[in-house]
Structure 1
Amino acid sequence: MSSHVRVDYYPKTKHRPESETKVSVVGETICKCPSTPINIQAITSGVVAKIPVVLAELTVSANISSTIKLPEYACEIKNSKKRVKVTQCLLLDDTGMLFIKGFIRKDIQYSTLTDSINGGFYGGLRHFTADVPFSCTTDVIFNGISPAPILVNTSSEFAYSIKQNLFGQEFGTKDKLLSSDKTEYNQISTEFFNDLPYCDLVSAHIVELDEALNTSFPQLNEKTFEERKFNIVEEKIVLDLKIKILQNRQVAIGSSGFKDGYK
């Protein structure tokens, strides 16, 4: 069984109708549902599977410097939430070079300074979202397994021989032209579809220093000894990305040791 609890509250207001000021909270208790385990079926004989294998696991460090201009003057940075977005992580085959590109999405929360009164000051709380780009390359040491060899497309031309009669004063009646046929073109081509290595992002570690540049005293009713206003922030960021490089490969999987074909 489940139970419901409903609480309605009507705050007193002078300028709003009752339908706009109603506050409602609904609670529900969810009961436990029974479950029963079932047998797991699996192949127990040796098989060949195509699965991702780890080529390398590494930490890439990127040093980033950026300047952000806020849409209005602020007096203090309250918080700065960050999310790392990787848009490119490409391993160039036969070189061991990894190309990385992305950006850090920053949501900056800051307070504004409107005015001062009675020894204090007041303002508003704002936020601004900006994308800080980064890109770099790094050499990869394959501490897992080396990438599969690249299979190169091939193309070969072949021809058939022909025998033709010759006409002219310098040729005898029994002379023949033995050559390939120039009126046809024959070719054998093979195209390979190699599996491109790809990246998984494991973690991102950020150390940053944000510093205001164009600080100045605000025009307030009462002067304050500490507060400044600014709208340009310079950032110094050290970004450490932990990355796995994988590739789909055919892997032989031995028997699991079960007696039956399925369990």
Structure 2
Amino acid sequence: MSNNCQDNNCVDFGQSAGVDACCSSQVNPVTQPGNPVTGQAVLRVPVTLAERRVSTVLSTHINFPDSVLEIKDIKKRVKIVQCSLMLQPVTCPEDAYNLADATLVIKGFVRKNIQYATPTSDISADCVSSTLRSLTTDVPFECMTIIPASAFLSRPQRPVLNARAEFDFFRSQSLGVGFPEKDQLLSSDLSQFHQTSTAYYNQLPFCEILSHNILEWDESVDRSGLGVNAPFEEGVFTRISEKMVLNFDIKVLQNQQVVVNPLTFIPPTNNGR
């Protein structure tokens, strides 16, 4: 048999191939059969507990490595590094879905990329030459807010406390020399230790950030003029005072087991064939 692929030219890319229409038909998905008694299935899925708009105020000072003639642009991004829904634990698993207020603790940063112009040595009374540079910094924030029990969209599954309990066995022992022979020490045995322990592996709530809005004021605190050989209104600074009003929407979720109605499987027909 001859080999027609010696030069790796099995496909000639210089010619186009026709594309014809192909047929498709509906396929019934294969699903888990429902419970024969209730006709339902149990799924473990992320359940939305709450969607909250969190507001906080940030105030900081930023120092620049260069003299700043003016700020050209500031790009911001909110980064959440910790979002913990602190639920009050219960002692009994049957009480895990009892509603109660919860505390949401959030920690993160506002990443800022500041683009600014810094003057060069080419300065005259008519013009100021400058170069564009940037400074990237993280402005931290940390806050906590209460989610009332009535504000939950779905009931959170509260953690169940672990439990430990000791138990003893009765033992009768001789009192020894100096006591009547008929008398006995009736107690437990101090040389033995017995315990039962129960631990629950609870599901930890988690968060997703949906959107943010930032109102920002940046003001220089050390601005000075460029000198007599520069336009009188021009000046530079190296330090700004910053205030931000930060608002962001956050979704709080938790993996839970929920009962759903399964899809009904409809077998395909033979269409008379």
Q: TM-score, normalised by structure 1?
A: 0.78
Report the CA distance between 1:177 and its aligned residue.
3.5
Q: Secondary structure at the match of 1:42?
A: coil
For 2:45 and 2:56, the matched residues in 1 are separated by 31
What is aligned with 1:133?
140
Q: Are the equivalent residues in 2 in contact too, given 1:116–1:220 (CA < 8 A)?
A: no
CA distance in 2 between counterparts of 1:175 and 1:119 reads 114
Please state if 1:195 is matched with 2:203.
yes
1:148 to 144, 157, 174: 157
CA distance in 2, matches of 1:224, 1:105: 34
Aligned to 1:17: none
Change (3 A) 1:117 1:41: farther
How far does residue 178 in structure 1 lie from its aligned partner after superposition?
3.2
1:92 aligned partner: 86
Paired amino acid for 1:206: I
CA distance in 1, matches of 2:84, 2:216: 26
The corresponding residue for 1:120 is 127
**Residue segments in structure 2 that go unaligned for 5+ positions in a row:** 1-11, 35-39, 89-100, 268-273
Map 1:40-59; keep pairs closer than 5 Å.
40-43=29-32, 45=34, 46-59=40-53
Name 1:239's counterpart in structure 2: 246
Partner of 1:108: 114
Q: Which runs of structure 2 are paired with 1:1-263 in the superposition (5 Å)?
A: 39=27, 40-43=29-32, 45=34, 46-94=40-88, 96-114=102-120, 115-117=122-124, 119-141=126-148, 142-172=151-181, 174-219=182-227, 221=229, 223-259=230-266
Determine what percentage of the aligned residue pairs are the same residue. 38
Shift of 1:249: 1.0
CA contact 1:213–1:233 (8 Å) conserved in 2:
yes
Displacement after TM superposition at 1:169 (Å): 5.0
Give the AA of the match of 1:194: N
Displacement after TM superposition at 1:163 (Å): 2.8
1:259 CA displacement? 3.2
Per-residue deviation, 1:234: 1.3
SS at match of 2:192: coil
Aligned-pair Cα RMSD in Å: 2.7
Give the SS at the match of 2:156: coil
Report if aligned partners of 1:218, 1:228 keep a CA contact under 8 Å in 2.
Answer: yes
Report the secondary structure of 1:229's partner residue: strand
What is the CA–CA distance in structure 1 between the aligned matches of 2:80 and 2:228, rounded to whole Å?
Answer: 44
After TM superposition, the score normalised by the length of structure 2 is 0.76
Please report how far the alpha carbon of residue 91 of structure 1 lies from its aligned counterpart in structure 2 after TM superposition.
1.5
Residues 189 and 124 from structure 1, CA distance in 2 versus in 1: closer, same or farther, beyond 3 angstroms? Answer: same
* Native 8 Å contact 1:57 1:242 kept in 2: yes
Going from structure 1 to structure 2, the CA distance change for 1:229 and 1:118 (only over 3 Å counts) comes to closer
How many residue pairs align between the two structures? 231
